[in-house]
């Protein structure tokens, strides 16, 4: 972002970086260890982080996800009452979930690269994340809300504001990583 005003457009290399991200394959021998590491991070219990940290974004294929992390698990289903976009705490209109408040604004220094809440696709910043109570909100660089994870700790899944399953969050004491479907990841580049 250049000073105040409209954010700079992402360069074409952002699109290339995002298109090169893939969910790890357990079939390729050279990727077994990283794949197991990612899966173990995703399966780890959510811990409340002491501070915000940058979040890498990687692409996941819902059909390749472990059942308990994918959209088929009861806690992760988009139609579950607590996961719906209009449920209390999930709505973009709820206080604290929109980019209209200072903590969620795209020009807040904490939401800029180097501020500790940046979402990265490869080496390109594509957005930022904030928390409102237990709800995790993902925004693109312009401040458009791309996805949320409902509060309450019942799911690690992310959902779009339209209510579709968007991916999952791996959360440890050191920070988070975001495994997003291709459609949700592409929303960061629109």
Domain range summary for the chain, segments of one domain joined by + = 12-187
- Tell me how far apart the alpha carbons of residues 123 and 113 are, in angstroms, rounded to a whole number: 11
pLDDT digits (tens, 9 = 90+) for 113-171: 999 999 999 999 999 999 998 899 999 999 999 999 999 899 999 999 999 999 999 98
Confidence class for position 105, pLDDT limits 50, 70, 90:
very high
> In this model, does residue 27 exceed pLDDT 50?
no
By CB neighbour count within 10 A (0-12 exposed, 13-18 middle, 19+ buried), where does 92 fall? middle
pLDDT at 54: 92
pTM: 0.74
List helix spans (H) across 3-160.
12-20, 32-43
Summarised one tens digit per residue, pLDDT across range 66-102 is: 999 999 999 999 999 999 999 989 999 988 999 999 9
CA 158-111-120 angle, 5° bins:
60
- Residue 26's contacts (CB-CB under 8 Å, 6 or more residues apart) are 32, 35, 36
Could you tell me the pLDDT band of residue 52, with boundaries at 50, 70 and 90?
A: low
């Amino acid at each position: 972002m250049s000073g105040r005003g409209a954010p700079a457009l992402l360069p074409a290399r952002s699109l290339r970086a995002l298109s090169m991200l893939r969910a790890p394959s357990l079939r390729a021998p050279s990727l077994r260890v990283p794949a197991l590491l990612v899966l173990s991070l995703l399966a780890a219990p959510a811990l409340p982080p002491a501070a915000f940290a940058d979040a890498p974004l990687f692409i996941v294929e819902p059909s390749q996800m472990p059942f308990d992390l994918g959209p088929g698990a009861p806690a992760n289903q988009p139609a579950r009452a607590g996961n719906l976009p209009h449920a209390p705490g999930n709505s973009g209109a709820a206080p604290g979930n929109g980019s209209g408040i200072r903590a969620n604004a795209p020009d807040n220094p904490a939401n800029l690269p180097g501020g500790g809440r940046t979402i990265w696709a490869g080496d390109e910043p594509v957005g930022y994340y904030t928390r409102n109570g237990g709800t995790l909100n993902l925004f693109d660089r312009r401040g458009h809300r791309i996805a949320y994870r409902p509060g309450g700790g019942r799911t690690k899944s992310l959902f779009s504001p339209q209510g579709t399953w968007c991916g999952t969050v791996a959360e440890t004491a050191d920070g988070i990583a975001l495994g997003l479907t291709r459609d949700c990841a592409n929303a960061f580049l629109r």
